[in-house]
Structure 1
Amino acid sequence: MNLSPARLDRFARHIVLPEIGGAGQVTLARKHVALVGIGGIGSPVLQYLAAAGIGQFTLIDDDTVDVRNLQRQTIFTGRDIGHGKATSARRWLANFDDALEVTLSDRRIEAGNAQAAIAGVDLVLDGTDNFATRLAVSDACVAQGIPLLSAAIGRFQGQVGAFAGHLPDQPCYRCFVGDAFDAEDCDTCAEDGVLGAMAGWVGSLAAMQAVRVLLVGAATFGDPQWGRLHLMDGLKPGMRTLTIAKDPACSGCGATA
């Protein structure tokens, strides 16, 4: 695959980085990323990954745009209110870069359809707001052998973690949270509130980590940081990192899974 002169010009600031280079940019153009949830986290992720030259996206979200989303979901405008988020996101992508391939899904992700929704992608990035969906996505990633980036936000706190539970020595997201959260019982932004700029910080870091994962083996920037969870505090501000161990008894990726 060769990049056209127009694409070389568009991504010139990436290509001059020795950690990415021309080979890395071509690799990004070949990659397929699934975004599960196109909200406060998914919006900046989509913007920065599209700007990075990811060649193909699958956009998964069953929600519609609400006026209360506009405080943090930066790809939407007042004209999108009442329209599906996946459809509106595709419209944003078409205006930004019509060379990108886009597949939509407006079905809610559940255990029964998660594997089909992400089949064939190179990376899944989950920015949803409930544990039932997150665990269904994690289990599907393990089953399909697909790496997962999980990003979450609440009030002034955020987290981004990279998981590869399909690998024998690496944890999955279920190793981190366990089985007790297989229900839609977590707090929401509507209940607790969220700072819009905090969503941007978390989404930007998630996009950075996605580029790392996608460039493994193709550029020196490609350190996937499997099992590393970055915790972000917008009040201090600051960030610290935890290492998540693989749980041998995990029902998602353990020996008896």
Structure 2
Amino acid sequence: MLTDNELMRYSRQLLLPQLDVAGQLKLKQSRVLIVGAGGLGCPVALYLAGAGVGELIIADDDAVELPNLQRQIAFGESDIGQSKATVLVRRLGEINSGIEVKAITDRLDGEALAGQVSHVDLVVDCTDNFETRFAINRACVSAGVALVSGAAIRGEGQVAVYDSRMPGNPCYQCLYPDDGEEALGCSEAGVIGPVVGLIGACQAMETIKVLAGIGQPLSGKLLLLDVWNMEWRTMNLSRDPHCPVCSGSRAI
């Protein structure tokens, strides 16, 4: 049941016939792992907390630095030197005291990552390196958990939903083979602040759609953004029948 306070707090989205009380209850009962509390993780976490997702787990082993403040909107100058995950969790508690929030300040990998993924309903990948993205994808496919992936660099971004529970859906590694090469990060290539906000907001929206069972999530699709021309483009994705991660999974 939703309390009177919750009915008031979420009244604007409860007016939407796509969501209604049934959808809000699904959000309240959901548990989401957000890996990365940077430029993407900040808007994702803020919007999901505001929307009433019942439990948010924020994982990030970095501390706030001065160059982060250009785009990581949950942090201020007084937070420099502090754990990103801890600061973000504190901010989420200020936004919505009615949800559960937890910070993980150690790097998630191996069994620790697999354990966390197996206990949530959805994972949001807000990281900035391929090694971690591949590890998150493997854990999600293994556990049968939906993955909302986002990336942003320079003035470009992309969003996709990888859900191995749906027959024929590709996984992240179907799109990006793990060839050992590492792409440039924001610290080398640069990034304009609003692009991570736009992509993060899209990730939050896709998360809400998947959890509440509304709309048409970006499953089997890749949404691309070019902010310099403000152009959005959608590509259809196919599962790689030889993918080392999902070719032998239940997705076939």
Which bin holds the TM-score, normalised by the shorter protein? over 0.9
1:40-86 superposed Cα distances (whole Å, 9 cap, x missing partner): 01111111111111110111101110011010000011111101111
Q: Distance in 2 between matches of 1:175 and 1:111?
A: 21
**Given that residues 156 and 235 in structure 1 are in contact (C-alpha distance below 8 angstroms), is that contact kept between their aligned partners in structure 2?**
yes
SS of alignment partner, residue 113 of structure 1: helix
Q: Which runs of 5+ in 2 are unaligned?
A: none
4+ aligned runs moved over 3 Å, structure 1 = none
1:147-174 superposed Cα distances (whole Å, 9 cap, x missing partner): 0010000000000000013544111101
The CA RMSD measured in Å over matched residues stands at 1.5
TM-score, normalising length: structure 2: 0.95
**Given that residues 141 and 249 in structure 2 are in contact (C-alpha distance below 8 angstroms), is that contact kept between their aligned partners in structure 1?**
no
**Percentage identity across aligned positions?**
39
Q: Distance in 2 between matches of 1:256 and 1:127?
A: 24
- 1:211 lines up with 2:208 in the alignment: yes
Structure 1 residue 97: Cα displacement: 1.2
Out of 202, 224, 241, which is 1:231 matched to? 224
- 1:250 lines up with 2:249 in the alignment: no
Counterpart residue number, 1:9: 8
Q: Distance in 1 between matches of 2:212 and 2:230?
A: 29
Counterpart residue number, 1:90: 89
How many residues were matched structurally?
250
Counterpart residue number, 1:18: 17
- 1:139 lines up with 2:111 in the alignment: no
SS of alignment partner, residue 88 of structure 1: helix
Q: Distance in 1 between matches of 2:116 and 2:199?
A: 24
Q: Which runs of 5+ in 1 are unaligned?
A: none
1:219-254 superposed Cα distances (whole Å, 9 cap, x missing partner): xx3422311110000011110001111111111111
Which residue identity is paired with 2:188? Answer: E
Residues 150-189 of structure 1: matches in 2 within 5 Å? 150-181=149-180, 185-189=182-186
Which residue identity is paired with 1:249? Answer: H
Q: Distance in 1 between matches of 2:166 and 2:18?
A: 25
Counterpart residue number, 1:64: 63
Q: Distance in 1 between matches of 2:192 and 2:245?
A: 33
Q: Distance in 1 between matches of 2:236 and 2:196?
A: 23
